Amino acid sequence: MSNDVTLFNQEVPAYLKKAGLDDMTKALSGNTGLKRISIRGGVFRLMVNGEELVKNENRFINIVIVNGGRHIARQFYASQYVAGQALPPDCWSNNGDKPDDSVESPQSKTCDGCPQNIKGSGQGDSRACRFQQRLAVMLADDIEGEVYQLALPATSIFGRGDVDKMPFQQYAKYVGAQGKSINTLVTELRLDSDSATPKLTFKPVRYLTEQEWLIAKEKGDSPAAKSAVTQTASTTDNVKPKAIESVKAVAVAEVEEAEVAEPTKRPAKKNATPAPKKDFVDVLNDWSTDDA
């Protein structure tokens, strides 16, 4: 009978190379199939089920954005982040209008009228309920690989920057104004070295090849991509509520943000050759650093 290690070191049959995990295996193994990219501490971190797998201390990575939340989400934690402890948010909203139906103790019937949405309800002049926009992304050098959740804090969503260092909303409008779709591009995701807190900026790098674009469209419609734009990071990390006597901890309050107000709502390069397919081990090796 085959030894497991020997079996998985063998060449995978061609018809199984893109099979991935089915729903039964995910359920039985406890694998949600959804990974996320964190920027805690100003470092790109690959998180799997709440555990840091590898980190990449480069200031930028290239990604392909395959899906994104159509609304600015919100989430509220009753107290400050405690390192090493994690709980789900006390209240959250995927549409930014009202608390999610699954919230046990909503802070208000609507987000606009919520006391946690008032300037000064959080630390300093900040709001206790924070803005967040969730994206489903892929690593540009592993276009056939995993879909990752990327949750943007307010400082990475709103505001204005130079054309090579744009916050996400400015970037999306810039790309749209060129008559292009975001999922046709490789996007540079950069940690802003001028920001006191972890902040991401966006810049277009190149067009996808036809083959890459077809894969990106397919991945954008996948269950993993749809989960990435709807689930809170605590759900992605399988964080379960538990009683903590003195302090409630925060699952994903990874950065302390300055107050950033949501804007008032009002009614050709040559195709590059696709990078060779990498397996997951290769991707992890790329992310690991000698001085990590």
Q: Which residues have CB under 8 Å from 148's CB, separation 6+?
A: 35, 36, 37, 46, 136, 137, 138, 139, 228
pLDDT of 216 over the 70 cut: yes
Band of residue 247 on the pLDDT scale cut at 50, 70, 90:
very low
Q: Is the pLDDT of residue 191 over 90?
A: yes
18 band by pLDDT with thresholds 50, 70 and 90 = low
Residue 102 has a CB neighbour count (10 Å cut-off) of 8
pLDDT at residue 246, as a whole number: 31
Residue with tokens 């054309």: 163
pTM beyond 0.75: the answer is no
Residue 135: name the closest of 235, 40, 63 by CA: 63
CB 234 within 8 A of CB 249: no
CA distances from 93 to 47, 104, 110, 117 (A): 23, 12, 10, 12
Mean pLDDT of 244-260: 41
Tokens read off for 85:
């402890």
Residue 166 DSSP symbol: B
Phi-psi region of 12 (alpha: psi -120 to 50; beta: other; left: phi over 0): beta
Tell me what the mean pLDDT of segment 89-99 comes to.
Answer: 89
Other Cβ atoms less than 10 A from the Cβ of 186: the count is 21
Strand 60-68 vs strand 51-56: parallel, antiparallel, or unpaired? unpaired
d(CA 159, CA 170): 7
**61, 65, 273, 69: which is closest to 180 by C-alpha?**
65
For residues 238 and 243, give the distance between their C-alpha atoms in angstroms, rounded to a whole number. Answer: 16
List, for residues 109-142, the tens digit of each pLDDT value: 999 999 999 988 888 888 899 999 999 999 999 9
